[in-house]
Amino acid sequence: MRLHFDEVKSTLSQVLMAHGCAQEQCDEVAYEMARNSLEGIYTHGINRFARLVRNIDEGIVKPGMMPVRIGGFGAIENYDGGLGLGITNARICMARAMELACVHGIGLVALRNTNHWLRAATYGYQACDGGMAAMCFTNTIPNMPTWGATDSRIGNNPLVFAFPRKQGHVVVDMAMSQFSYGALELARLENRQMPVDAGFDMQGRLTRDPDQVIRSQRILPTGYWKGAALSFVLDVFAGCLSLGNTVAGVGRLEGDEHGVSQVFIAIDYQKIVPADQAETILNNAVEDLLSSTPSRKGERIVYTGQKTDEIRKENLEKGIPVDEGIWAQIKALA
């Protein structure tokens, strides 16, 4: 089934209000989750909404809490999120990083004791829309074995790089696993295999079957040992800068994933680089990339972030694709 964006947003907002969220937070979270699905990130939009509501009911997510400053020095600050809504906390902290960047040229805000921020790219786009470049990352619950191990002790810690561009922002949003668990869950829902190996089955064999990987909890790190190493370093940075949980600490908490640590970096590059010159350099790089020779006839080369606007346009015209069972579950939550 396909639903109009406004209907999705309104329904999600009503459900959140019924579960104790303030109107402003309801509207913000509902907008972002509807927008995620609108732009093709279904795993971190409508499909994950019921889980968010369940976490609110369980007390893991506390809608009334806002980030509180712990300390700071110059362009660097850290905050405690009080287990508030992940989207709200993250948007506040990226906005603060941008304020610091306006003064210092760069701003870094580390956040502890917060919740899942849903789509990581949201905060890269937030910075780009304000004319700044950004980098941000989060840790997670232990959900991936380090290279050569069988038990999960690292996270697939998502990482975002974003640079503004008039013709379409260049944004990388990637987990440190070959595929996110959300992507695996969507593939399982649609009864399809992954295009390349996604992890190991219960017998330790590489597989493209999402159900087998979800069962084994042995997802494959991006770049094998390189992705595992990057995951660990991102975790250390997030935990140490925020004085918060590392992946190991998150794993010791009872219940669903919560209490994670995040870092938001905003760069006001126009303080040292003329905007038009940066735009020219970026456009040249994009044009060179798009002139690549496709490995298969009929395939199209795209730059990272390019498909977002195309999917958004299609879903605005036709409606957002929604699984009927998931939508019925959401409606029942009201």
Residues annotated as catalytic (active site), given as ranges: 44
| CA–CA dist 68, 13 (Å, integer) | 25
Alpha-carbon Rg for the chain in angstroms = 20
What are the CA-CA distances from residue 26 to residues 17, 41, 102 (Å)? 6, 20, 29
| CA–CA dist 21, 88 (Å, integer) | 11
Q: Bridge-partner residues for 281, per DSSP?
A: none
Q: Bridge-partner residues for 170, per DSSP?
A: 163
What are the CA-CA distances from residue 293 to residues 288, 290, 296, 297 (Å)? 11, 8, 9, 9
Bridging pattern class, strands 320-321 and 2-3: antiparallel
Measured in whole angstroms, how far is the alpha carbon of residue 19 from the centre of its chain? 24
- Classify each residue of 261-290 as buried b or exposed e, where b means 16 or more C-beta atoms within 10 Å of its C-beta: bbbbbbbbbeeeeeeeebeeebeeebeeee
Spatial CA neighbour of 164 closest among 136, 120, 127: 127
Measured in whole angstroms, how far is the alpha carbon of residue 156 from the centre of its chain? 11
Spatial CA neighbour of 157 closest among 206, 84, 228: 228
- Residue carrying the six token digits 């390019």: 306
Indicate the Cα dihedral angle 76, 105, 28, 163, nearest 10°: -120
